[in-house]
Protein backbone atom coordinates (compact mmCIF):
# COMPACT_ATOMS: atom_id res chain seq x y z
CA UNK A 1 0.00 0.00 0.00
CA UNK A 2 1.45 3.36 -1.07
CA UNK A 3 1.06 6.75 0.58
CA UNK A 4 0.73 9.26 -2.23
CA UNK A 5 0.57 13.06 -2.28
CA UNK A 6 -0.83 14.61 -5.47
CA UNK A 7 -0.48 18.35 -6.03
CA UNK A 8 -2.75 19.69 -8.75
CA UNK A 9 -4.99 16.72 -8.09
CA UNK A 10 -8.02 18.16 -9.87
CA UNK A 11 -6.24 18.05 -13.26
CA UNK A 12 -7.28 15.36 -15.72
CA UNK A 13 -3.91 13.59 -15.77
CA UNK A 14 -3.54 13.67 -11.98
CA UNK A 15 -7.05 12.31 -11.45
CA UNK A 16 -6.41 9.50 -13.93
CA UNK A 17 -3.21 8.58 -12.06
CA UNK A 18 -5.09 8.63 -8.77
CA UNK A 19 -7.68 6.25 -10.22
CA UNK A 20 -4.98 3.69 -10.97
CA UNK A 21 -3.37 4.02 -7.56
CA UNK A 22 -6.77 3.75 -5.86
CA UNK A 23 -7.32 0.38 -7.51
CA UNK A 24 -4.18 -0.78 -5.68
CA UNK A 25 -5.51 0.38 -2.32
CA UNK A 26 -3.32 3.46 -1.96
CA UNK A 27 -3.73 6.13 0.70
CA UNK A 28 -4.04 9.48 -1.06
CA UNK A 29 -3.74 13.15 -0.15
CA UNK A 30 -5.13 15.44 -2.85
CA UNK A 31 -4.18 19.12 -2.99
CA UNK A 32 -5.58 21.56 -5.53
CA UNK A 33 -7.42 24.83 -6.15
CA UNK A 34 -10.88 23.50 -7.01
CA UNK A 35 -12.45 22.21 -3.79
CA UNK A 36 -15.62 20.94 -5.50
CA UNK A 37 -13.62 19.04 -8.10
CA UNK A 38 -11.32 17.60 -5.40
CA UNK A 39 -14.31 16.33 -3.44
CA UNK A 40 -15.75 14.68 -6.55
CA UNK A 41 -12.41 13.00 -7.33
CA UNK A 42 -12.10 11.84 -3.72
CA UNK A 43 -15.56 10.23 -3.73
CA UNK A 44 -14.72 8.39 -6.92
CA UNK A 45 -11.39 7.15 -5.52
CA UNK A 46 -13.02 5.74 -2.42
CA UNK A 47 -15.41 3.74 -4.60
CA UNK A 48 -12.48 2.48 -6.67
CA UNK A 49 -10.74 1.05 -3.61
CA UNK A 50 -8.51 3.74 -2.11
CA UNK A 51 -7.69 2.94 1.50
CA UNK A 52 -7.96 6.60 2.52
CA UNK A 53 -8.46 9.87 0.66
CA UNK A 54 -7.76 13.29 2.15
CA UNK A 55 -8.27 16.62 0.38
CA UNK A 56 -6.98 20.14 0.88
CA UNK A 57 -7.72 23.31 -1.05
CA UNK A 58 -4.36 24.71 -2.05
CA UNK A 59 -3.05 27.53 -4.24
CA UNK A 60 0.43 26.71 -5.55
CA UNK A 61 1.17 30.40 -6.11
CA UNK A 62 0.59 31.22 -2.45
CA UNK A 63 3.93 30.17 -1.00
CA UNK A 64 2.65 30.82 2.51
CA UNK A 65 0.43 27.75 2.08
CA UNK A 66 3.18 25.36 1.00
CA UNK A 67 4.55 24.32 4.39
CA UNK A 68 1.10 24.01 5.95
CA UNK A 69 -0.09 21.79 3.10
CA UNK A 70 2.96 19.52 3.41
CA UNK A 71 2.55 19.31 7.18
CA UNK A 72 -1.10 18.32 6.70
CA UNK A 73 -0.13 15.65 4.18
CA UNK A 74 2.49 14.20 6.51
CA UNK A 75 0.05 14.21 9.43
CA UNK A 76 -2.53 12.36 7.34
CA UNK A 77 -0.24 9.89 5.61
CA UNK A 78 2.80 9.55 7.85
CA UNK A 79 5.59 8.68 5.45
CA UNK A 80 5.18 9.67 1.80
CA UNK A 81 6.06 7.12 -0.88
CA UNK A 82 5.17 9.12 -3.99
CA UNK A 83 4.67 12.82 -4.69
CA UNK A 84 3.10 13.72 -8.04
CA UNK A 85 3.31 17.40 -8.98
CA UNK A 86 0.78 17.90 -11.75
CA UNK A 87 -0.45 21.49 -11.66
CA UNK A 88 -0.01 23.95 -14.51
CA UNK A 89 -1.63 26.32 -16.98
CA UNK A 90 -1.22 26.66 -20.72
CA UNK A 91 -0.02 30.22 -21.20
CA UNK A 92 -1.47 32.46 -23.91
CA UNK A 93 1.78 33.34 -25.68
CA UNK A 94 0.39 36.42 -27.42
CA UNK A 95 -0.96 37.82 -24.16
CA UNK A 96 2.34 37.09 -22.42
CA UNK A 97 4.14 39.10 -25.09
CA UNK A 98 1.84 42.08 -24.50
CA UNK A 99 1.60 42.07 -20.71
CA UNK A 100 4.64 41.50 -18.50
CA UNK A 101 2.41 40.81 -15.49
CA UNK A 102 0.74 37.92 -17.32
CA UNK A 103 4.13 36.59 -18.41
CA UNK A 104 5.48 36.64 -14.85
CA UNK A 105 2.28 35.09 -13.47
CA UNK A 106 2.39 32.22 -15.97
CA UNK A 107 6.09 31.58 -15.36
CA UNK A 108 5.45 31.57 -11.63
CA UNK A 109 2.62 29.04 -11.95
CA UNK A 110 4.45 26.71 -14.32
CA UNK A 111 7.99 26.95 -12.96
CA UNK A 112 8.63 28.87 -9.75
CA UNK A 113 5.80 27.30 -7.75
CA UNK A 114 7.03 23.83 -8.70
CA UNK A 115 10.63 24.70 -7.81
CA UNK A 116 9.48 26.10 -4.45
CA UNK A 117 7.51 22.93 -3.68
CA UNK A 118 10.36 20.65 -4.69
CA UNK A 119 12.74 22.60 -2.48
CA UNK A 120 10.47 21.92 0.51
CA UNK A 121 9.62 18.31 -0.36
CA UNK A 122 13.13 17.12 -1.18
CA UNK A 123 14.44 17.22 2.42
CA UNK A 124 11.41 15.27 3.62
CA UNK A 125 12.09 12.35 1.29
CA UNK A 126 15.82 12.75 1.80
CA UNK A 127 15.36 12.27 5.54
CA UNK A 128 13.16 9.20 4.90
CA UNK A 129 15.82 7.85 2.51
CA UNK A 130 13.04 6.63 0.26
CA UNK A 131 10.31 7.82 -2.08
CA UNK A 132 9.66 9.10 -5.58
CA UNK A 133 9.15 12.65 -6.81
CA UNK A 134 7.22 12.58 -10.09
CA UNK A 135 7.01 15.98 -11.79
CA UNK A 136 5.04 16.81 -14.92
CA UNK A 137 7.12 18.96 -17.25
CA UNK A 138 6.56 18.97 -21.03
CA UNK A 139 8.19 18.28 -24.38
CA UNK A 140 7.69 22.04 -24.90
CA UNK A 141 10.68 22.60 -22.64
CA UNK A 142 13.15 21.06 -25.06
CA UNK A 143 13.30 23.90 -27.61
CA UNK A 144 11.89 27.40 -27.65
CA UNK A 145 9.12 27.69 -30.22
CA UNK A 146 7.58 31.00 -31.25
CA UNK A 147 4.08 29.75 -30.45
CA UNK A 148 4.70 28.91 -26.77
CA UNK A 149 8.16 29.96 -25.62
CA UNK A 150 6.95 31.35 -22.27
CA UNK A 151 5.41 28.00 -21.38
CA UNK A 152 8.39 26.18 -22.86
CA UNK A 153 10.84 28.26 -20.85
CA UNK A 154 8.97 27.46 -17.63
CA UNK A 155 9.01 23.74 -18.38
CA UNK A 156 12.69 23.89 -19.33
CA UNK A 157 13.40 25.39 -15.91
CA UNK A 158 11.48 22.57 -14.22
CA UNK A 159 13.28 19.91 -16.27
CA UNK A 160 16.73 21.29 -15.47
CA UNK A 161 15.89 21.69 -11.78
CA UNK A 162 14.71 18.08 -11.64
CA UNK A 163 17.88 16.89 -13.33
CA UNK A 164 20.05 18.44 -10.64
CA UNK A 165 17.72 17.33 -7.87
CA UNK A 166 17.86 13.77 -9.21
CA UNK A 167 21.64 13.69 -8.80
CA UNK A 168 21.39 15.08 -5.27
CA UNK A 169 18.66 12.71 -4.08
CA UNK A 170 20.13 9.61 -5.71
CA UNK A 171 22.49 9.35 -2.75
CA UNK A 172 19.46 9.08 -0.44
CA UNK A 173 17.71 6.41 -2.56
CA UNK A 174 15.05 8.91 -3.63
CA UNK A 175 13.90 8.85 -7.25
CA UNK A 176 13.07 11.90 -9.34
CA UNK A 177 10.95 11.25 -12.43
CA UNK A 178 10.60 14.00 -15.03
CA UNK A 179 7.43 13.48 -17.07
CA UNK A 180 7.31 14.97 -20.58
CA UNK A 181 3.89 14.62 -22.17
CA UNK A 182 3.12 15.75 -25.68
CA UNK A 183 -0.39 16.80 -26.68
CA UNK A 184 -3.02 15.57 -24.22
CA UNK A 185 -6.79 15.95 -24.57
CA UNK A 186 -7.59 17.83 -21.35
CA UNK A 187 -9.70 20.88 -20.47
CA UNK A 188 -6.46 22.89 -20.64
CA UNK A 189 -6.05 22.11 -24.36
CA UNK A 190 -9.74 22.27 -25.27
CA UNK A 191 -10.34 24.47 -28.29
CA UNK A 192 -6.78 24.23 -29.61
CA UNK A 193 -6.13 22.97 -33.12
CA UNK A 194 -4.00 19.94 -32.28
CA UNK A 195 -2.76 17.25 -34.70
CA UNK A 196 -5.19 14.46 -33.78
CA UNK A 197 -2.87 11.50 -34.47
CA UNK A 198 -0.48 12.89 -31.84
CA UNK A 199 -3.09 13.61 -29.15
CA UNK A 200 -3.25 11.19 -26.20
CA UNK A 201 -5.96 10.70 -23.60
CA UNK A 202 -5.26 11.50 -19.92
CA UNK A 203 -5.82 7.80 -19.18
CA UNK A 204 -3.06 6.73 -21.56
CA UNK A 205 -0.64 9.25 -20.10
CA UNK A 206 -1.58 8.21 -16.56
CA UNK A 207 -0.90 4.56 -17.35
CA UNK A 208 2.58 5.52 -18.52
CA UNK A 209 3.22 7.64 -15.41
CA UNK A 210 2.12 4.98 -12.93
CA UNK A 211 4.25 2.40 -14.75
CA UNK A 212 7.29 4.70 -14.81
CA UNK A 213 6.97 5.41 -11.09
CA UNK A 214 6.80 1.68 -10.33
CA UNK A 215 9.89 1.02 -12.47
CA UNK A 216 11.94 3.85 -10.99
CA UNK A 217 12.53 5.64 -14.29
CA UNK A 218 14.29 9.00 -14.51
CA UNK A 219 12.55 10.45 -17.58
CA UNK A 220 9.28 9.61 -19.30
CA UNK A 221 8.14 10.76 -22.73
CA UNK A 222 4.45 10.04 -23.03
CA UNK A 223 3.20 8.66 -25.32
CA UNK A 224 6.48 6.93 -26.21
CA UNK A 225 6.73 8.31 -29.75
CA UNK A 226 7.49 11.80 -28.42
CA UNK A 227 10.98 10.60 -27.62
CA UNK A 228 11.66 10.12 -31.34
CA UNK A 229 9.85 13.32 -32.33
CA UNK A 230 11.87 15.40 -29.90
CA UNK A 231 15.12 13.77 -30.99
CA UNK A 232 14.43 15.07 -34.50
CA UNK A 233 13.40 18.53 -33.26
CA UNK A 234 16.47 18.85 -31.02
CA UNK A 235 18.68 17.83 -33.94
CA UNK A 236 17.50 20.58 -36.30
CA UNK A 237 20.21 23.21 -36.82
CA UNK A 238 19.31 26.65 -35.51
CA UNK A 239 19.28 28.21 -38.96
CA UNK A 240 16.68 25.65 -40.01
CA UNK A 241 14.69 25.67 -36.77
CA UNK A 242 14.09 29.42 -36.81
CA UNK A 243 12.65 29.23 -40.30
CA UNK A 244 10.15 26.45 -39.68
CA UNK A 245 6.82 26.57 -37.87
CA UNK A 246 6.59 23.79 -35.30
Give the rounded percent of residues in the chain with a pLDDT score beyond 90: 87
Model confidence over 25-69: pLDDT tens digits? 999 999 999 999 999 999 999 999 999 999 999 999 999 999 999
Residues of the domain holding 182: 3-241
Q: What pLDDT was estimated at residue 135?
A: 98
In a domain, 149, yes or no: yes
* pTM for this model (two decimals): 0.94
In a domain, 28, yes or no: yes
| Structural domains counted in the chain | 1
In a domain, 16, yes or no: yes
Q: What pLDDT was estimated at residue 185?
A: 84
In a domain, 144, yes or no: yes
In a domain, 15, yes or no: yes
Q: Is residue 24 pLDDT above 90, yes or no?
A: yes
In a domain, 246, yes or no: no
Q: Is residue 196 pLDDT above 90, yes or no?
A: no
In a domain, 53, yes or no: yes
In a domain, 69, yes or no: yes
CATH code for position 36: 3.40.50.720
> SS in 3 state form for the chain?
CCEEEEECCCCHHHHHHHHHHHHCCCEEEEEECCHHHHHHHHHHHHHHCCCEEEEEECCCCCHHHHHHHHHHHHHHHCCCCEEEECCCCCCCHHHHHHCHHHHHHHHHHHHHHHHHHHHHHHHHHHHHCCCEEEEECCHHHCCCCCCCHHHHHHHHHHHHHHHHHHHHHHCCCCEEEEEEECCECCHHHCCCCCCHHHCECHHHHHHHHHHHHHHCCCEEEECCCHHHHHHHHHHCCHHHHCCCCC
Amino acid sequence: MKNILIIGASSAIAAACAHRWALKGARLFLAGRQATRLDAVARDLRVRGAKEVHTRRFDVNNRAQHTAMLNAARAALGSIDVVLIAHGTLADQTLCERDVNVAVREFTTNALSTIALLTLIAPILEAQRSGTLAVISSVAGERGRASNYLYGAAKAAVTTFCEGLRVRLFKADVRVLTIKPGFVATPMTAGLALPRPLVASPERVAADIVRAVARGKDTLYTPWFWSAIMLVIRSLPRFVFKRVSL
